[in-house]
């Protein structure tokens, strides 16, 4: 067996992280925001069939940026994990925290095992509570860490800029239309600060709605309902005095 060149562990990990980050950055960003009645997922996705957001369980939703086959695998793994747990114990015993832990372990092990290619994905696992205070949002970067997020979170290519934009404008108790509008605004900002228009057909939107009477709170918002929500806020905006959009430009 030939002796491989020595590469310091720091360098090896840095290379792997770099590789994963680049992969994730190629994908479009998506955002997850809390609003008064739940949690909304918004992303730009030209496909109607290949989803970035999905239902994991009654109150748990999943969002992913990065490489499709990898996050699809993790998504199905999550659905199996949740269904098995709910079947073995009870539906109430399936939690976002438990799922996030399993994902973190999985991503972490893959990231640090030299024989495997690191996953180029960044996940968000969100659980809607019966009250806004019970909402949980976890962000799971490629390396197996978990970040407990509040209010708003962005993952994918332009995530840092988008999250700082959201952090400044997101407030608790927003209506769905307001939150949706804010999310679309955040997503339409390009790296260089210019804005572009994202038409409703290219948006993928889903909510975990705590007011939904069904046990399963996850719902996709599509078609006319989406257009109506986007327009509803335009009308409301004309009346109220919202902070101007240009203000935080300097920070970006």
Partner 1 sequence: MEANFDRTGRLPAAFLTPGSSSFIDFLGQHSPDLLPGNRRLPEGIVEAPHGTTIVAATFPGGVVLAGDRRATMGNMIAQRDIEKVFPADEYSAVGIAGTAGLAVEMVKLFQLELEHFEKVEGATLSLEGKANRLSTMIRGNLGMAMQGLAVVPLFAGWDEGREKGRIFSYDVTGGRSEEHGYAATGSGSIFARGSMKKLYRGDLTEEQATTLVVQALYDAADDDSATGGPDLARRIFPIVTVITEEGFRRLTEDESSALARSVTERRLEQPDGPRAALL
Nearest residue to 53 (alpha-carbon basis) of 235, 208, 246, 247: 208
Alpha-helical regions (H) of 6-158: 9-26, 68-88, 96-112
Q: Please name the residue that has the structure tokens 């969002």.
A: 63
Residue 73 Cβ, how far from partner 1 at the closest point, in Å?
A: 5
Using DSSP's 3-state secondary structure scheme, residue 220 falls into strand
Residue 72 Cβ, how far from partner 1 at the closest point, in Å?
A: 8
Site pattern 123..162 for partner 1 (x: CB under 8 A): ----------------------------------------
Q: Which is nearer to partner 1, 61 or 157 (CB)?
A: 61
Q: Which is nearer to partner 1, 101 or 185 (CB)?
A: 101
Site pattern 68..87 for partner 1 (x: CB under 8 A): ----xxx-xx-xxx-xxxxx
Residue 194 Cβ, how far from partner 1 at the closest point, in Å?
A: 34
Residue 95 within binding range of partner 1, rule CB under 8 A = no
Q: Which is nearer to partner 1, 150 or 216 (CB)?
A: 216
Determine how β-strand 30-35 pairs with β-strand 60-66: unpaired
Q: Which is nearer to partner 1, 108 or 248 (CB)?
A: 108
Residue 211 Cβ, how far from partner 1 at the closest point, in Å?
A: 18
Question: Could you tell me the maximum CA-CA distance found in the chain, to the nearest angstrom?
Answer: 74
The binder of partner 1 chosen from 10, 88, 211, 244 (CB under 8 A): 88
List beta partners, residue 55. Answer: 61
The tokens for 93 are: 């015993």
Residue 49 within binding range of partner 1, rule CB under 8 A = yes
Q: How many CB atoms lie within 10 A of CB 129?
A: 15
Sheet holding 147-149, edge to edge: 53-57, 60-66, 121-127, 136-140, 147-149
How many chain residues are in contact with partner 1, going by CB under 8 A? Answer: 28
Query: Phi and psi for 32 in degrees, rounded to 5?
Result: -130, 125
Q: How far apart are CA 63 and CA 41, in angstroms?
A: 8
Q: Which is nearer to partner 1, 109 or 168 (CB)?
A: 109
Interface positions with partner 1 (CB under 8 A): 49, 51, 54-56, 72-74, 76-77, 79-81, 83-88, 101-103, 105-106, 108-110, 216
């Amino acid at each position: 067996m030939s002796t491989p060149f020595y590469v310091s562990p720091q360098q090896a990990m840095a290379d792997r992280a770099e590789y994963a980050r680049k992969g994730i950055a190629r994908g479009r960003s998506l955002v997850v925001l809390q609003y008064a009645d739940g949690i909304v997922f918004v992303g730009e996705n030209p496909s109607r069939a290949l989803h970035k957001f999905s239902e994991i369980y009654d109150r748990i939703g999943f969002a992913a940026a990065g490489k499709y086959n990898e996050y699809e695998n993790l998504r199905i793994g999550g659905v199996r994990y949740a269904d098995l747990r709910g079947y073995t114990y009870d539906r109430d015993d399936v939690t976002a925290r438990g799922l996030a832990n399993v994902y973190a372990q999985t991503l972490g092990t893959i990231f640090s095992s030299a024989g495997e290619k690191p996953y180029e994905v960044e996940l968000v696992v969100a659980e809607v509570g019966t009250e806004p205070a019970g909402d949980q949002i976890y962000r799971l970067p490629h390396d197996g860490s978990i970040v407990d997020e509040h209010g708003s979170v962005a993952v994918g290519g332009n995530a840092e800029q988008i999250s700082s934009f959201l952090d400044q404008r997101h407030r608790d108790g927003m209506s769905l239309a307001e939150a949706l509008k804010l999310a679309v605004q955040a997503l339409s900002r390009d790296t260089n600060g210019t804005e572009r228009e994202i038409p409703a057909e290219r948006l993928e939107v889903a909510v975990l709605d705590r007011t939904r009477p069904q046990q399963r709170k996850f719902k996709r918002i599509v078609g006319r309902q989406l257009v109506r929500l986007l327009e509803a806020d335009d009308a409301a905006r004309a009346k109220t005095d919202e902070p101007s959009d240009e203000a935080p430009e300097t920070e970006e």
